Amino acid sequence: DSKYTQLRIFFFPFMAQGHSIPAIDMAKLFASRGVNVSIITTPLNAPRLAKSINNSGHPGREIELLIINFPSATVGLPDGCESLDLARSPDMFQSFFRATTMLEPEIDRILEQHRPHCLVADTFFPWTTDVAAKYGIPRVVFHGTCFFSLSAAASIIANRPFDKVSSDLEPFVIPNLPHEIKLTRSQVPGFLKEEVETDFIKLYRASKEVESRCYGFLINSFYELEPAYADYYRNVMGRRAWHIGPLSLYSNVKEDKAQRGDSVSIDEHDCLKWLDSKNPNSVLYVSFGSLANLTNSQLLEIAKGLEATGQDFIWVVRKEIHDQEEWLPEGFEKRIEGKGLIIRGWAPQVLILDHRSIGGFVTHCGWNSALEGVTAGLPMVTWPNSAEQFYNEKLITDVLKIGVSVGAMHWGRAGKDLITSEAIEKAVNRVMVGEEAEGMRSRAEALGIQAREAIEDGGSSFSDLKAFFDDIRSRI
């Protein structure tokens, strides 16, 4: 759009797949509309991003990468630990967040030098608001989650309803939301309940405190998915927000040959051919995102549960953690030959989900995955573990009614809170076969259609994106 060619917008994505993947989609979307886009990143993340951007393959402007150093050594992290998935222990996790707070001088230098018209920085960089303000640059927050979870979190932080129940497993209602949503104390994120001040807790608090001073919020969602919560976020919480999702619809990975997130661990062509040989809606896709850390005994239960359902499946397992085979039942791979595909490492998730043979999704409810599932029109088995995933589960099961909970009860205890093969089998069967499954599938498919309409000319996300560009343009 020639109207926007004078706009210069900088992105500063958080260094974790679930945050950087949608940020890159956003950067590509902005560039395709003529905006000058730069992404600020670190040496180790730069090549990954470069491959995801693949400047030659998408329409519009080239995207520039600006590299800043990451102080791994200063906080005692091993060299090259510049992405959250490489922080393997709770201590490393905390150090990683501490390191990100030290990036301020470099960002200050970049903003002073380049003076972009807007800085879109991740919610985990709260300090960017004031640095940008020094140069009169509006800082827009990218949350990477939905209106529903932001609304639920705000209510829980303000009202602390979990203090009023007598046990960890007694349900409480999240106050003042448009629907009656119940949660248990055990499902509330640990960082909202802990007494000790960890680096992450300090950062999380800072990210919430700064919000009232941020210019606005870009949300990876579409209005029709959660209208009551989009309204709640804007009108009750008073946030200026633009919804521009589903961002995965802009990634065009198939056409422009760019990778999404990481190099895939399977021949994409073979994987799609395998899916081509299956019946529509007959294959289950099982993935827990880029960070979840399941124990071997939990993987064993998943294997047994999947086998018991008799359904065809694609199951993604994190290779760097589970490279040994002891988590598979005896003779499993032989028995499932032709029926099940295990991807060890990184899967081409969106390509798989969008294939017509996929009929259900077992998901940890990371927002990107959940929204990709919605966009593909899939009923889901919800299996949240950490971050804001327990809220996302409620949106899927209780509000949208397109999923069944596997029954995870404890935040941050993946694998320790063992989900049995029987529970897995039961939940999978409920989303794959029978009348209940058909009801969920038809609701999910309707949402998938609305998702595509939202980003088309005149759709709700299309219009909000234009409104966002016009807003920033009016300031220059």
Which two three-digit tokens encode residue 426? 């039961």
User: Contact 313/339 with Cβ under 8 angstroms?
Assistant: yes
H or E element: which one contains 428?
helix 421-432
Restricted to residues 344-373, the positions that interact with ligand UDP (CB under 6 A) are: 346-347, 349-350, 366-369, 372
Question: Under the criterion CB under 6 A, does residue 251 sit at the interface with ligand UDP?
Answer: no
User: Contact 220/22 with Cβ under 8 angstroms?
Assistant: yes
Number of H helices, E strands in the chain: 19, 15
Which amino acid appears at position 41 of this protein? T
In the bound state, the residue with its beta carbon closest to ligand UDP is 18
CA–CA distance, 51 with 30 (Å, rounded to integer)? 18
Restricted to residues 96-125, the positions that interact with ligand UDP (CB under 6 A) are: none
SS3 (DSSP) at 287: strand
CA–CA distance, 430 with 416 (Å, rounded to integer)? 25
Question: Binding marks (x or -) toward ligand UDP, 310..329, rule CB under 6 A?
Answer: ------x-------------
Residues that bind ligand UDP (rule: CB under 6 A) add up to a total of 19
Which amino acid appears at position 133 of this protein? A
Question: Under the criterion CB under 6 A, does residue 174 sit at the interface with ligand UDP?
Answer: no
Q: Nearer Cβ to ligand UDP, position 41 or 349?
A: 349
Which span (115-123, 236-244, 343-351, 436-444) binds ligand UDP, by CB under 6 A?
343-351
Q: Nearer Cβ to ligand UDP, position 29 or 316?
A: 316
Question: Under the criterion CB under 6 A, does residue 290 sit at the interface with ligand UDP?
Answer: yes
CB of 172 to ligand UDP, least distance (A): 25
CB of 269 to ligand UDP, least distance (A): 17
Question: Under the criterion CB under 6 A, does residue 245 sit at the interface with ligand UDP?
Answer: no
CB of 163 to ligand UDP, least distance (A): 28
* 121-138 burial: b if 16+ Cβ within 10 Å, else e: bbbbbbbbbebbeeeebb
Handedness of CA 75, 91, 384, 345 (dihedral sign): positive
CA–CA distance, 60 with 32 (Å, rounded to integer)? 4
Among all residues, which ones are annotated catalytic? 19, 122
Closest alpha carbon to 144 in 236, 24, 33, 39:
24
Question: Under the criterion CB under 6 A, does residue 392 sit at the interface with ligand UDP?
Answer: no
Question: Under the criterion CB under 6 A, does residue 52 sit at the interface with ligand UDP?
Answer: no
Which two three-digit tokens encode residue 159? 């009202």
CB of 32 to ligand UDP, least distance (A): 19
Question: Under the criterion CB under 6 A, does residue 21 sit at the interface with ligand UDP?
Answer: yes
Question: Considering only residues 239, 260, 355, 394, which one is a binding residue for ligand UDP as defined by CB under 6 A?
Answer: 260
Binding site for ligand UDP (CB under 6 A): 17-18, 21, 260-261, 287, 289-291, 316, 346-347, 349-350, 366-369, 372
